[in-house]
Amino acid sequence: MQAKETCGGWCCSDGEVKSLWCACQCRQHGGQPQHTQTVNAIQQPIHSTRQSYTSDRHTWLWKLIHDFKKKKQADNAVTIRTRKFLTNRLLNRKQMIVDVLHPGRPNVSHKELGDRLAKLYKSSEECIFTFGFRTAFGGGKSTGFALIYDSLDEAKKVEPKYRLIRHGIGAKGLISSKQRKERKNRAKKFRGTKKAKAATAGKK
């Protein structure tokens, strides 16, 4: 099968008939032929065309997977920036504001933050206390506070009890809030030393 008479339009801009489809487009245009050239409509066997299509498809799929993995690794990356750094010699600690950039992640755990700050400031993880983190609107960034004590004993002297319990140091109290309220109300009926005795006494 042969095709003739290119019209020189958008389908044959380089002056050649690329395929049978292109030649049909030229006939549909009804343009004035500029030159005549004979071209074979089918130049390659069908199986070679299928093979090249399959290889191109595999290459495209591999590139897509590679780009996805690369983007996922970039999204999972966490960047830590500290500001307003202060060395507090009265409390034997370093204190700072921490900005955490975590695109692609909802948030970063306190344990992971402790590990990264310990490597950054060459300290032990048990001496680092992080708290007060708030995620910015839209996600991707959190801001909070970090305290790095010189030793664990110094942290026990200064840190509040609830933060020590959260850090895994010390045991949580066994008295419930209801029991504390009942003890307070019993002590209201007495004055002086009897007040303390009433607070420790059981319910009558």
8 Å CB contact between 39 and 3 = yes
pLDDT at 52: 59
**Residue-level pLDDT, tens digit, the chain, 204 residues:** 444 444 555 455 544 444 444 444 555 455 444 444 444 444 444 445 555 556 666 777 777 777 766 666 555 688 899 999 999 999 999 999 999 999 888 889 999 999 999 999 999 999 999 999 999 998 889 999 999 999 999 999 999 988 998 888 877 777 788 888 888 888 888 888 888 777 777 655
Positive or negative CA dihedral for 118, 119, 124, 126?
Answer: positive
Beta strand segments in the chain, E: 2-3, 39-40, 79-88, 93-101, 128-135, 141-149
